[in-house]
Amino acid sequence: MWLLVASDSVMGYDDDGVHTICPYCGVGCGLTLESGEEDGAVSITPWFDAPVNEGALCIKGGASTEVVAHEDRLTEPLVKVDGTFHTTTWDDALEGIVAELERLRDEYGPDATGFFGSSKVMNEENYLLQKLARRYGTNNVDNCTRMCHASTVYTLRNSLGAGAMTNSMADLRDHGDVFWIQGANPAEQHVIAHSNYFRRAALEGSTIVQVDPHANKTSRDADIHLQLKPGTDIPLLNIVLKTILEEGLYDESFIEERTTGFEQLEATLADVDMGQAADICEVPLEDIQEAARIYAEADNAAIFTGMGMSQHRCGVDNVQNEVNLALITGNIGRPGTGVNPLRGQNNVQGTCDVGAMPNVLPGYLEVDDDEARESVEAVWGFEIPPEPGLTNVEVSNQIGDSVHGLYIMGENPVMSEPDATEVERRMDDLEFLVVQDIFMTETAEHADIILPATSWAERGGTVTNTDRRVQLMREATDVPGNTRHDLDILCEVGTRLFGEGAGFEFDDPEDVFEELREVAPIYHGITYEGIGLEGIQWPCYEEGDEGDQYLYEESFDTDDGLGVIRGVRHTEPAEVPDEEFSLVLTTARLEEHYNTGTMSTRSPTLRRRTPENFVDIHPADAEQRGIEDGDYVRLRSRRGEIVLEANVTEDIAEGAIWTTPHFADARANTLTNDVLDPLAKIPEYKAAAAEVEPVEGGKSGEPADD
């Protein structure tokens, strides 16, 4: 067990147990772990002084230890021989990996291999993975942000300066008068953020507006719920923007002094017919305009965005319109305002911060910027390829063509990427696949070599939560079986692949972090000792700085210091309903489950609450198809079909259907469309043409034997 720092009591080890961070969503809740009498067993007690959650935990956080000592844990390296996995030694597994990586590079060049990082592992480990890829000679490194917030990161970086929340949960709760939540459902997906911040602020008089196609726990707490048709966020926001302009509710001085592009927005909105746009959204015009006035007339109004906005082929434009709304009303650069993406995994922000993306280096330095690249090369001691690499979806699409090898750490693309049946087929076309994980995932089943890693409770390092807070996770129990830390594995692979002294010899996570903060300007002033129990919010440029609770007080981090306004026009989803597929399918997470279900569906507590997948369908659509509540139905799109239970409910609007991505036996991403946003390269998960039909004899509890 690593000792990360000298002062245990200050740094999270005391008589109460070990203070660490929940492994699930990006809120960054603290909890205390105590080791049990059985090997690997750990239990949770509240960490009442945790800076984000003050001891509170949601159902996922409370059940998070149930997977630590799970019987399905991988505990030995595995190698596939004649289609069957066999136990092997670490030495043989690592030598096999190095030999195959060298062969692929020699035969095809370094760009024939891709590297996938993970938002479920630490900053230090993702930092080492992207460094490994670049030392290998490729920028083909990416992470799951590509699937959830790539368009948000792209837009915020280009229009404001940083691809992260502009504000902090605490200042939003204390100063926010209006919360505009679009394409996000924090009451179920960021539960403690909702209960400790949004709901508490609402009880003190703040107003919540939610824009979402699906009624949910957030909309039930909202003052206004605009239940739009999936894929119509741009026309709705164009109504909001045009209403604000026509009624003189914009901040003229802020626009003049701190923005560029306002005239182009005016020109874009000039030919917007608000009545026609409301018909496209299927929301009453007066409701949209009322919400617009509430936002624009607030002293401090904050926008919260999520995957309902980003996971579209026009995701960049969707988020840009949210930026437009904040900028024309001057709601940015002070407490209680801003544009704030709610991140879905506990380290999805940090994974991007440390450069596990094909176009940026640690600290969001552009890989094709000579000066930025040279500053990192000076520390690393080797040249970095100057051209951006492929995103993870592009890597998957190129398998069998230009891509022949793949190194995956902690990700499950067979479940997470769109058109999953095709992704799975391609995995078998790889010449070499290595998977580093804690369970035998659907992706690992296709691997040539599997490396058993340690879980969140068995290792330490830093993670960065949704409001840019870098926090320490701490190991609380022994390493099970013959598993190894991701960091140790990557150091070993790097040293074997490139030789001694090649930059992969580190003593512990803090040693890696010291190099990370040397190359990433936004982390320069952060140290393990400074992080302590409270964490530090980047940017933090000098040791001793406390970081920034909110950004852009005086200027934006753009070339000219101005925030970029850019008018956008409605782009229909790539697929629209037709005679064969007459419904619009959209997807979202559940409160009690998490992403591809690798961890949460193995938790007895979480599985008990929702044991299998289901599809929400409006009563009128169900009646038209002869479907009753609890029936098993066939849900199909142009890419495949799944069988699951029907939940007949008015929570979803007529003409739309809704399901979840968490269950392998009814895999929603079998159905989703792999069309990409041209700039952010994020898939369009949120809108696909689909159809639902009864399964003969498939009443509740009796799925048909298909």
Average pLDDT over the chain reads 93
Quote the percentage of the chain above a pLDDT of 70.
96
Q: How far apart are CA 143 and CA 409, in angstroms?
A: 9
Q: What is the pLDDT of residue 12?
A: 66
What residue segments make up the domains of the chain, in order of their start?
Answer: 13-67, 78-146+346-537, 150-341, 583-694
Contact yes or no for 622/614 (Cβ under 8 A): no
In the predicted structure, residue 7 carries a pLDDT above the cut 50: no
Instruction: Give start and end residues of each alpha helix (H) in 381-508.
Output: 392-397, 413-416, 420-427, 486-498
* pLDDT value, residue 424: 94
Over residues 301-311, the mean pLDDT reads 94
* β-strands 30-35, 42-45 pairing: antiparallel
Q: What is the CATH number of domain 13-67?
A: 2.20.25.90
Mean pLDDT of 84-91: 98
Bridge partners of 220?
none
pLDDT band at 202; cut points 50, 70, 90: confident
Q: What is the mean pLDDT of residues 491-510?
A: 96
Convert the pLDDT of each residue in 613-660 to its tens digit. 999 999 999 999 999 999 999 999 999 999 999 999 999 999 999 999
78-146+346-537 has which fold?
Rossmann fold (3.40.50)
Characterize the bridge pairing of strands 640-648 and 339-341. Answer: unpaired
Per-residue pLDDT tens digits for 549-593: 999 999 999 999 999 999 999 999 999 999 999 999 999 988 888
**Looking at residue 700, what is its pLDDT?**
47
Q: What is the pLDDT of residue 697?
A: 67
Q: Is the pLDDT confidence value at 312 over 60?
A: yes
Q: How many CB atoms lie within 10 A of CB 167?
A: 30
pLDDT bin (cut points 50, 70, 90) of residue 200 is confident
CA nearest 336: which of 172, 151, 506, 167?
A: 172
Six token digits for residue 139: 């920028």
| Residue bearing the bigger pLDDT, 149 or 96 | 96
Question: Per-residue pLDDT averaged across 156-175, rounded?
Answer: 92
User: Does 150-341 carry CATH code 3.40.50.800?
Assistant: no
Residue 319: predicted pLDDT: 97
Nearest by Cα to 420 from 597, 299, 295, 269: 597
Name the token pair of 325. Answer: 């709304």
pLDDT, mean of residues 378-400: 96
pLDDT band at 39 (very low <50, low <70, confident <90, very high): low
Q: What confidence score (pLDDT) does residue 303 get?
A: 97
Question: Is the confidence at residue 597, as pLDDT, over 60?
Answer: yes
Residue pair 108/469 in contact by the 8 Å Cβ criterion:
no
Q: Which tens digits make up the pLDDT trace of 412-438?
A: 999 999 999 999 999 999 999 999 999
- Is the pLDDT reported for residue 83 higher than 80? yes
Q: pLDDT per residue over 249-289, tens digit each?
A: 999 999 999 999 999 999 999 999 999 999 999 999 999 99
Q: Report pTM.
A: 0.94
* Mean pLDDT to the nearest integer, 525-553: 94
Secondary structure class of 409 (helix, strand, coil): strand
As a whole number, mean pLDDT of residues 99-115 equals 98
d(CA 202, CA 261): 34
Query: pLDDT-derived band of residue 3, with 50, 70 and 90 as boundaries?
Result: very low
* 355: pLDDT strictly greater than 90: yes
400 has pLDDT over 70: yes
Sorted by sequence, the CB contacts under 8 Å of residue 339 that are 6+ apart come out as: 156, 160, 165, 166, 303, 305, 319, 322, 323, 326, 332
pLDDT at 10 over 50: no
Q: Please compute, for residue 188, the number of CA atoms within 13 A of its CA located in the half-sphere on the CB side.
A: 19
Q: Tell me the pLDDT band of 4, cut-offs 50, 70 and 90.
A: very low
CATH number assigned to the domain covering 583-694: 2.40.40.20
Copy the structure tokens of residue 159: 């229009």
DSSP category for residue 284 = -
b or e along 188-205 (b: 16 or more beta carbons within 10 Å of the residue's beta carbon)? bbbbbbbbbbbbebbeee
Q: What percent of the chain has pLDDT over 90?
A: 85
10 Å CB burial of residue 541 (0-12, 13-18, 19+) is: middle
Q: Tell me phi and psi for residue 534, to 5 degrees.
A: -90, -30
Query: In the predicted model, is pLDDT for residue 1 greater than 70?
Result: no
What does the angle CA 33 – CA 52 – CA 218 come to, to the nearest 5 degrees? 110
What is the spatial distance between Cα 409 and Cα 444, in angstroms, rounded to a whole number?
Answer: 10
- Which pLDDT value is given to residue 147? 81
Is 150-341 in the same CATH topology as 13-67?
no
- Which has more pLDDT, 597 or 218? 218
- Rounded (to 5) percent helix, strand, coil in the chain: 35, 20, 45
Question: What is the DSSP code (8-state) at residue 668?
Answer: G
Residues 6 or more apart in contact with residue 10 via CB below 8 angstroms: 532, 533
DSSP string, 148-179: HTHHHHHHHHHHTS-SS-SS-HHHHHHH-SEE
Is it the case that residue 702 has pLDDT exceeding 60?
no
Q: Who wins on pLDDT, 610 or 86?
A: 86
One-letter amino acid of 133: A
Do residues 671 and 642 touch, judged by C-beta distance below 8 A? yes
Cβ proximity of 72 and 441 under 8 Å: no
Q: Give the contacts of 81 (CB within 8 A, at least 6 positions apart).
A: none
pLDDT of residue 41: 77
